[in-house]
Amino acid sequence: MSRLGRLLLLLIVAAALVGVVCVGVIFVATGGNPVDGVQTALIRLRLAGREDDLNAAAGSNPDPVRFTVASGDSPRAIAGNLLAASLITDADLFVDYLRANALDTELEAGTYFIRQTQTISEIALALTDSRNSVINFTIIEGWRIEEVADAIDRNPLFGFTGADFLRVVGAGVQFDPAFVSQVGMPVGASLEGFLFPNTYQLPPDITAFGLRDLLTEEFLRQVGSSAFVRAAQQNRTLFEVVTLASIVQREAIHREEDPQIAGVYLNRLNIGMKLDADPTVQYPLGGAGNWWRQITQADYQGVISPYNTYRVTGLPPGPIANPGLSAINGVLNPTPSDYFFFQADCSGSGYHNFSETYEEHLSKSC
């Protein structure tokens, strides 16, 4: 072979080696899928001119929208659902962004809370981890069951309605027999009084049943085993304690008065005197939009209800609201006194004057 031939052969071999090396580099760089790598590179080139679109939000509404990624949903299906929910304005751009950033295989099934004000990149990243999705939910001390249901309806993140919740906590529903027995709940009673007031961080897939169970479990955790001991020492069930605590909760404005107001009511119960508690008149009068309406003088005897303690002696049939721990502890650990009467003082401070006799009580009227 001539020198020229050998030179050409060497050049061919060198070119072949360079080609093999280049193919190998491309193979490695594309994760073993050079066709896919080329497509991704082309997508990135396409996105390079769409920075403004990628950084633009679909709308100005900051309220979170409940959005679900089902198991097996493709990036294309997810993009379509986002578009239908008005969370993005361009499904193709969303899919391209996922592909260009290798997020198309990282999307995670679950429930998310997405805002119109989020950009495509923010939404794409959010959909890779459902653990960050929670429902913040607060139950205020003194709310009745219907007010809890109203709060559920005001929160767009729940996957069920307030009416759904009322169906699983209302009167006549079969509850956990162990819980019913433990608190001494009468047959047919609702869970009024046992939906413990607190602020909760709830999983996005929580159901009405799940919320019910979480609230009653929190009630038992908060009151502790000592509550059952103290209730037994008073010859009462915890249901009876919570019933009285719900009245104390609605009567007292300043929580430091809980034990003293509870003591007055217990003094009345101990001698068979009617409780004469205004909140027990308000309870049967309550309706949607005004659950605790102002009562009139005529209502004291005019409201015909077993809850009206101006007409019936003893405790009402059950709690009238969901009391906080302070009111419950006030009943379990009342302030000993000879007081049988109390009324709001005349300063408007929310504190009360306490009296031993009715005559003394009248003398302190404003």
- The answer on pLDDT for 341 being more than 60 is yes
Average pLDDT, the chain: 90
CA–CA separation, 317 and 365 (whole Å): 31
Q: Name the percent of the chain lying above pLDDT 70.
A: 90
The pLDDT assigned to 45 comes to 77
What is the DSSP code string of 17-63?
HHHHHHHHHHHHHTTT-HHHHHHHHHHHHHHTT-HHHHT--S-S--S
| Contact criterion met (CB below 8 Å) for 234 and 241 | yes
- The answer on pLDDT for 166 being more than 60 is yes
Alpha helices for 235-333 (secondary structure H): 238-251, 258-270, 278-285, 299-302, 325-332
The pLDDT assigned to 315 comes to 98
Identify residue 133 by its one-letter amino acid code: S
Q: 217: which 2 tokens?
A: 């479990």
Crossing angle, helix 278-285 and helix 238-251, to 10 degrees? 90
What residues are paired with 110 via a beta bridge? Answer: 69
* Cβ atoms < 10 Å from Cβ of 224: 11
Going by pLDDT thresholds of 50, 70 and 90, the confidence category of residue 23 is very low
Q: Which CATH fold would you assign to the domain 51-132?
A: Dna Ligase; domain 1 (3.30.1490)
CA–CA separation, 170 and 165 (whole Å): 8
Q: Which helix (H) or strand (E) holds 312?
A: none
CA–CA separation, 13 and 161 (whole Å): 74
CA–CA separation, 13 and 178 (whole Å): 83
CA–CA separation, 85 and 129 (whole Å): 20
The pLDDT assigned to 26 comes to 47
The pLDDT assigned to 2 comes to 67
Question: Could you state, in order of their start, the residue ranges of all structural domains in the chain?
Answer: 51-132, 145-335
What is the DSSP code string of 203-220?
-TT--HHHHHHHHHHHHH
- The answer on pLDDT for 37 being more than 70 is no
Going by pLDDT thresholds of 50, 70 and 90, the confidence category of residue 366 is confident
Q: How far is CA 344 from CA 52, 295, 335, in A?
A: 62, 16, 18
- The answer on pLDDT for 49 being more than 50 is yes
Going by pLDDT thresholds of 50, 70 and 90, the confidence category of residue 32 is low
For the entire predicted model, the pTM comes to 0.81
Going by pLDDT thresholds of 50, 70 and 90, the confidence category of residue 203 is very high
